[in-house]
Chains A and B, each alone.
Chain A
Amino acid sequence: MVNNDDGAAVRARGLRIVRGARTVIDGLDLDVPAGQVVGLLGPSGSGKTTLLRSIVGVQANVTGDLTVLGAPAGSPGLRRRVGYMTQAASVYTDLSVIENLVHFAALAGRRGAAAHAAAADAVAAVDLGGHEKQQVGSLSGGERSRVSLAAVLVGDPELLVLDEPTVGLDPVLRRDLWDMFHRLSGEGRTLLVSSHVMDEAARCDRLLLLRGGALVADTTPDELLAQTGAPDAERAFLTLIDRANTGTGTGTDAGTASSGGVR
């Protein structure tokens, strides 16, 4: 797929996002390398969803530079090339699984047989075989969220922006989805996957750790463990936060660091 000159699928410089009275992100610089599975990890409330919404162009009050696949975030041309899965499953509960997927395939420009083929492939990819005709409203939460993921897949995007796609799924299914993410990145696609579950860090090619709207680390899973000497990602994250707090002398909220340490 298309790589940009600097190999970044998403590039933010001085990004600032205000929601209501809060400045959720204040001066963020970040690069998402193309062709990789990049994890956006951070505790609940750290600004993951806000950042992803700005990348797909539905977040208001965004200032600074934000470039996606070489174009300003939210440009009309990107809507064919970027797929977005919202944190809460955003599919029609009163339609069947297959009706939902055919609809989103059609919006992405596939009609008739092509739309049905894409829908069937996506059903298989998220392991919902046998549920095709079921109304989404009668699916379990985890199944619903997989329909929502499949609705991204039918659009065949270059950049997949997935907000907590594996939350609440059983371990086998989670492993299968991460395998699929890597298969997709093997085809040259970029995946930006958020999670507040630190265990998922090990599955990513690259990690962006977010806390309080700021980047705590931009690293790889191996580097993270090596740098911190921690046995797992969760403790590595805590170590980084403790270091940041003592290092910069702004350690006023060391108490929240441990509660910020994710679940």
Chain B
Amino acid sequence: MTLTMVTAGRVLNQLRHDRRTIALIMLAPCLIVGLVAWMFHGTPVLDQFGPVLVGFFPLFVMFLVTSVTTQRERSSGTLERLMTTPLRKGEFVAGYAVAFGVLATVQAFVVVGFALLVGMDVAGSVWLVLLVAVLDAVLGCTLGLACSAVARTEFQAVQMMPVVIIPQLVTAGIMMPRDQMPEVLEWVSRVLPLTYAVESLQDLARGAQWAGVRGAIGVLVLWIAGAGVVGVLTLRRRTE
């Protein structure tokens, strides 16, 4: 537990030195939300699309940041060194999840706050919207850790994004209602986590309460745990 916090503190410290990345993480989603609000001014599009952006961005950004950061740990030799210290693999993965969870919480407040400011209506609980956004970000982080074992270079790590994240976006029911999809794809969408994030956020915007979204939130938590376990299992203390 304590070495988890030591690792989380170290990762946050590294982020603190990288102001530009933090600014991009906070402002890029606001820019997109702002563009949508402006483009569709006076229509209800933002009410439908806002929740999607709020759910998608944390997943997308944290996945990218985590896979690049852990790839850097591998290539710089710091991971090899960490593996000779008392730090356990689970503590390493959990440390990353905590650090990016903190970052994600700030991001969620900024993005959701901005979306509300430019006119997104949330009939349900704003706190639940924030919760889903944070869970999405932590999921992005653990998925990034799970996938980082596959990527050998930073370039490959970035290329994992279209492989892991974009299919979720395509099948999440944004481009086409899920019940109109080919059956196989509908099934696939039933398994992938972004579907649940987007659905619960849209439901919350329409006024759903805890009872209406707790199932979806449960699925997100399961995915976080599963990806975390894969991240731990694929982390190798001994390498070639």
* B86 adjacent to A90 (CB under 8 Å): no
> Does B76 sit at the interface, judged by CB under 8 A?
yes
Given A58-B83, A107-B85, A107-B87, answer yes or no on A92-B238 (Cβ-Cβ < 8 Å): no
> Does B6 sit at the interface, judged by CB under 8 A?
yes
* A92 adjacent to B3 (CB under 8 Å): no
Of the candidates A76, A91, A107, the one having the most CB atoms from chain B within 10 angstroms of its own CB is A107
Besides A58-B238, A59-B238, A108-B86, 16 new A-B residue pairs in contact (Cβ under 8 A), listed by A number: A19-B240, A53-B80, A57-B238, A60-B240, A61-B240, A79-B85, A82-B84, A84-B81, A91-B78, A93-B76, A94-B17, A95-B10, A106-B6, A107-B86, A107-B87, A155-B85
How many A residues touch the partner, as a band? 35 or more
CB distance from B70 to the nearest CB of A (A): 13
CB distance from B150 to the nearest CB of A (A): 17
> Does B82 sit at the interface, judged by CB under 8 A?
yes
CA distance A59 to B237 in the complex (A): 8
Residues on the B chain within 8 Å of A151, using CB: 81
Q: Mark A175-209, 1 if CB is under 8 A from B, else 0.
A: 00000000000000000000000000000000000
> Does B18 sit at the interface, judged by CB under 8 A?
yes
Contact residues of A between 70 and 120, Cβ < 8 Å to B: 74, 76, 79-80, 82-84, 86, 88-95, 99, 103-104, 106-109, 111
CA distance A83 to B158 in the complex (A): 33
Partner of A58, one of B9, B14, B17, B237: B237
* A92 adjacent to B78 (CB under 8 Å): yes
How many B residues touch the partner, as a band? 20 to 34
A contact residues vs B (CB 8 Å cutoff): 19-20, 53, 56-62, 74, 76, 79-80, 82-84, 86, 88-95, 99, 103-104, 106-109, 111, 135, 151, 155
* A60 adjacent to B17 (CB under 8 Å): no
Can you show 21 pairs from A to B with CB atoms below 8 A apart?
A20-B240, A57-B83, A57-B84, A57-B238, A60-B239, A60-B240, A62-B238, A79-B86, A82-B84, A86-B80, A88-B76, A88-B77, A94-B17, A95-B10, A99-B10, A103-B13, A104-B85, A107-B3, A111-B2, A151-B81, A155-B85
> Please, which residue of chain B has its CB at the minimum distance from the CB of A54?
B238
Residues on the A chain within 8 Å of B17, using CB: 94-95, 135
Of the candidates A19, A83, A99, the one having the most CB atoms from chain B within 10 angstroms of its own CB is A99
CA distance A88 to B79 in the complex (A): 13
CB distance from B82 to the nearest CB of A (A): 7
